[in-house]
Structure 1
Amino acid sequence: MNIRKSINFVARKVLYLFVKAETLPNKIEQLNINPDVPVVYVLDARAWSNLLVLETECENQGLASPIDHISSENLKSWHSVYTIAPRQPFRTWLQKQPKRSRMLRGIVEILRENPEQEIQFVPVTVFWGRPVAIQKHWLAVLFADSWGLASRTRKLLTILIHGRNTLVNFTNVVNYRGSAYSHLSNDEIIDKLQFTFSTQLNNLKSATLGPNVSHRGTLVRKLILNPDVQKAIVKRSKEDNRSEYKASLQARRYLNEIVANCTNITIQLMQRGLTSFWNKFYSGIEVTHNENLKNLALTHELVYVPCHRSHIDYLLLSYVIYGEGMAIPYIAAGKNLNMPVLGSILRGGGAFFIRRSFKGNELYSTVMFEYVAALVSMGMPIEYFVEGGRSRTGRLLKPKPGMIAMTIRGFLKYRKLPVAFIPVYIGYEKLLESKAYQAELSGEDKKSETFFSSMRSMLRIRGRFGKVYTNFGQPVFLNQLLENTNASWANEIYSDSKRPEWLRDVVDNASQQIMSHINQAAIVNSINLVSTVLLATSKQHMDENALFRMLDIYKSLIESIKYSDRVILTSRTGKEQVEHAEYLKMVKRRTHPLGDIIYLDSSHSVSMTYYRNNILHLMALPSLIACCFFNVRSQTREEIVNLISLAYPFLKSELFLVWEKDQLADKVSEVLDVMADLGLLIKNEQIDVYTRPGSGAVEFSQLNLLAKVISPILEIYYLTLALLSRKEEAQISINELVERSFLMAQRVAMIYELNSPDFSDKRLISNFIDTLIHIDYLRVYDTENIEYSDVFHKADKRIQLLLSKEMRSNILQMLKINQQGV
Structure 2
Amino acid sequence: MAWRPFHAVLRRLLDAWVELRHCDPAPETLALDPERPVRYVLPHRALSDRLLLENLCRRHGLPLDAPPGTSAILSLPEARRRRWRRHSSSPLTALTEDLAAADPQLVPVSIFWGRAPDKRFGLWKLLAADSWALTGRLRRLLSVVVNGRSVEVVFGAPLRLGELHDPARPELTSRKAGRLLRVHFRRVRTRVLGPDLSHRRTLIDSVVASPEVRRAIEEAAAAQERSRTRLTRRAQRYGREIASNMSYPVLRFFDQLLKRLWTRLYDGVEVTGMATVKALAGDHTLVYVPCHRSHIDYLLLSYVLYRQGLMPPHIAAGRNLDMPIVGPLLRRGGAFFMRRSFRDNRLYAAVFDAYLHRLLARGHALEYFIEGGRSRSGRQLAPRHGMLAMTLRSQARLIQEQRRPRPLAFVPVYIGYERVMENASYRRELAGEKKRKESPLALLRTLKRLREPFGRVTVACGEPLILDHWLDAQCPEWRQAIPQGRPTWLGQTLPALGQALSRRINAAARLNASNLVALAMLATPQRVIETPRLEHQLRLLARLGRARPGESLAPPEGTPGDWIDHAERLGLIRRRPQALGELVVADADQAAQLGWYRNNVLHGFALPGLVAFAFRNTPRHDAAGLAQRLSPIWPLLVRELAITAPEDLTAAITEQLGQLTALGLLETVDAGWQRPRALPDQAALDQLGALVEPFLARGFLLLTVLLRQPSGRATAEALADQGRQLAERLALLSGLPAPEFFDASLFAALLEGLEAEGWVWRDNDRVHYGATLQEAARHAQELFDPALRQRLMLLAEVGEDNDGPEAS
Query: Are 1:465 and 2:454 an aligned pair?
Result: yes
Q: What does residue range 565-644 of structure 1 map to in structure 2 within 5 Å?
A: 567-644=553-630
SS in 2 for 1:802: coil
Query: Are 1:232 and 2:216 an aligned pair?
Result: yes
Query: Are 1:400 and 2:384 an aligned pair?
Result: yes
Conserved? CA contact 2:316–2:336, under 8 Å: yes
1: CA distance, partners of 2:710 / 2:194: 72
Query: Are 1:683 and 2:672 an aligned pair?
Result: no
Q: What does residue range 484-499 of structure 1 map to in structure 2 within 5 Å?
A: 484-487=473-476, 489-490=478-479, 492-495=480-483, 497-499=484-486
In structure 2, the partner of 1:253 is 237
* Aligned-pair Cα RMSD in Å: 2.2
| Mean Cα deviation higher: 638-647 or 749-758 | 749-758
1: CA distance, partners of 2:211 / 2:618: 68
- What are the Cα deviations for residues 604-653 of structure 1, in whole angstroms up to 9, with x where unaligned? 11011000011101110000001111211111111211111121011011
2: CA distance, partners of 1:282 / 1:682: 43
In structure 2, the partner of 1:501 is 488
In structure 2, the partner of 1:777 is 759
Conserved? CA contact 1:421–1:475, under 8 Å: yes
User: CA 1:221/1:674 → structure 2, altered by over 3 Å: closer, same or farther?
Assistant: same
2: CA distance, partners of 1:758 / 1:777: 25
In structure 2, the partner of 1:550 is 537
In structure 1, the partner of 2:335 is 351
Q: Which amino acid aligns with 1:422?
A: V
In structure 1, the partner of 2:675 is 692
In structure 2, the partner of 1:789 is 770
Conserved? CA contact 1:266–1:345, under 8 Å: yes
Conserved? CA contact 1:305–1:384, under 8 Å: yes
Shift of 1:720: 0.4
Number of aligned residue pairs: 617
In structure 2, the partner of 1:55 is none
1: CA distance, partners of 2:221 / 2:598: 53
- What are the Cα deviations for residues 293-349 of structure 1, in whole angstroms up to 9, with x where unaligned? 222011110000000000010100000011111111000111111111111111111
Conserved? CA contact 2:247–2:333, under 8 Å: yes
1: CA distance, partners of 2:306 / 2:424: 30
In structure 2, the partner of 1:659 is 645
SS in 2 for 1:449: coil
- What are the Cα deviations for residues 716-736 of structure 1, in whole angstroms up to 9, with x where unaligned? 010000111123684111111
User: CA 1:220/1:820 → structure 2, altered by over 3 Å: closer, same or farther?
Assistant: closer
1: CA distance, partners of 2:477 / 2:522: 51
2: CA distance, partners of 1:733 / 1:812: 21
In structure 2, the partner of 1:265 is 249
2: CA distance, partners of 1:509 / 1:805: 39
User: CA 1:568/1:299 → structure 2, altered by over 3 Å: closer, same or farther?
Assistant: farther
SS in 2 for 1:285: strand
User: CA 1:211/1:510 → structure 2, altered by over 3 Å: closer, same or farther?
Assistant: closer
Shift of 1:269: 1.5
2: CA distance, partners of 1:486 / 1:635: 41
2: CA distance, partners of 1:400 / 1:130: 40
1: CA distance, partners of 2:122 / 2:312: 26
Q: Which amino acid aligns with 1:638?
A: A
Query: Are 1:439 and 2:428 an aligned pair?
Result: yes
Shift of 1:663: 1.6
Q: TM-score, normalised by structure 2?
A: 0.74
Shift of 1:810: 1.8
Tell me which of 596, 619, 632 is aligned to 1:646.
632
User: CA 1:518/1:221 → structure 2, altered by over 3 Å: closer, same or farther?
Assistant: same
In structure 2, the partner of 1:517 is 504
Conserved? CA contact 2:264–2:451, under 8 Å: no
2: CA distance, partners of 1:402 / 1:129: 37
Q: Which amino acid aligns with 2:608?
A: P
Q: Runs ≥4 in structure 1, deviation > 6 angstroms? A: 128-132, 209-212
User: CA 1:129/1:733 → structure 2, altered by over 3 Å: closer, same or farther?
Assistant: closer
User: CA 1:131/1:590 → structure 2, altered by over 3 Å: closer, same or farther?
Assistant: farther
| Higher Cα Rg, which structure | 1
In structure 2, the partner of 1:220 is 204
2: CA distance, partners of 1:360 / 1:609: 38
User: CA 1:225/1:674 → structure 2, altered by over 3 Å: closer, same or farther?
Assistant: same
Q: What does residue range 135-150 of structure 1 map to in structure 2 within 5 Å?
A: none
Q: Which amino acid aligns with 2:467?
A: L
Conserved? CA contact 2:619–2:675, under 8 Å: yes
Q: Which amino acid aligns with 2:462?
A: G
In structure 2, the partner of 1:475 is 464
1: CA distance, partners of 2:124 / 2:429: 48
Q: Which runs of 5+ in 2 are unaligned?
A: 1-119, 130-145, 147-192, 400-404, 804-808
Query: Are 1:539 and 2:539 an aligned pair?
Result: no
Shift of 1:773: 1.2
SS in 2 for 1:291: helix
- What are the Cα deviations for residues 667-715 of structure 1, in whole angstroms up to 9, with x where unaligned? 111011000010100012xx32110023x52100000111101101110
Conserved? CA contact 1:630–1:801, under 8 Å: no
Conserved? CA contact 1:646–1:795, under 8 Å: yes
SS in 2 for 1:791: helix
2: CA distance, partners of 1:322 / 1:819: 56
Shift of 1:133: 5.4
User: CA 1:303/1:568 → structure 2, altered by over 3 Å: closer, same or farther?
Assistant: farther
Q: Which amino acid aligns with 2:673?
A: Y
Query: Are 1:414 and 2:398 an aligned pair?
Result: yes
Q: Which runs of 5+ in 1 are unaligned?
A: 1-124, 135-164, 166-208
Tell me which of 290, 302, 315 is aligned to 2:299.
315
Q: TM-score, normalised by structure 1?
A: 0.72
User: CA 1:519/1:128 → structure 2, altered by over 3 Å: closer, same or farther?
Assistant: closer
Conserved? CA contact 1:481–1:506, under 8 Å: no
SS in 2 for 1:628: helix
In structure 2, the partner of 1:759 is 741
Shift of 1:819: 3.5
Q: Which amino acid aligns with 1:681?
A: L
| Mean Cα deviation higher: 570-579 or 464-473 | 570-579
SS in 2 for 1:754: coil
Q: Which amino acid aligns with 1:732?
A: A
2: CA distance, partners of 1:307 / 1:647: 25
1: CA distance, partners of 2:226 / 2:801: 62
Shift of 1:585: 2.3
- What are the Cα deviations for residues 57-111 of structure 1, in whole angstroms up to 9, with x where unaligned? xxxxxxxxxxxxxxxxxxxxxxxxxxxxxxxxxxxxxxxxxxxxxxxxxxxxxxx
Shift of 1:420: 0.3
Shift of 1:386: 0.5
SS in 2 for 1:629: helix
Q: Which amino acid aligns with 1:394?
A: G
| Mean Cα deviation higher: 571-580 or 546-555 | 571-580
2: CA distance, partners of 1:210 / 1:754: 50
- What are the Cα deviations for residues 113-165 of structure 1, in whole angstroms up to 9, with x where unaligned? xxxxxxxxxxxx9967897859xxxxxxxxxxxxxxxxxxxxxxxxxxxxxx9
Shift of 1:460: 4.0
1: CA distance, partners of 2:124 / 2:485: 53
Conserved? CA contact 2:194–2:364, under 8 Å: no
2: CA distance, partners of 1:786 / 1:481: 34
SS in 1 for 2:377: coil
Q: Which amino acid aligns with 2:586?
A: L
Tell me which of 423, 431, 442 is aligned to 1:453.
442
Q: What does residue range 57-456 of structure 1 map to in structure 2 within 5 Å?
A: 213=197, 215-415=199-399, 416-456=405-445
| Mean Cα deviation higher: 461-470 or 450-459 | 450-459
Q: Which amino acid aligns with 1:650?
A: L
Give aligned-pair identity as a percent: 34
Q: Which amino acid aligns with 1:761?
A: D
- What are the Cα deviations for residues 158-205 of structure 1, in whole angstroms up to 9, with x where unaligned? xxxxxxx9xxxxxxxxxxxxxxxxxxxxxxxxxxxxxxxxxxxxxxxx
User: CA 1:267/1:679 → structure 2, altered by over 3 Å: closer, same or farther?
Assistant: same
User: CA 1:361/1:692 → structure 2, altered by over 3 Å: closer, same or farther?
Assistant: same
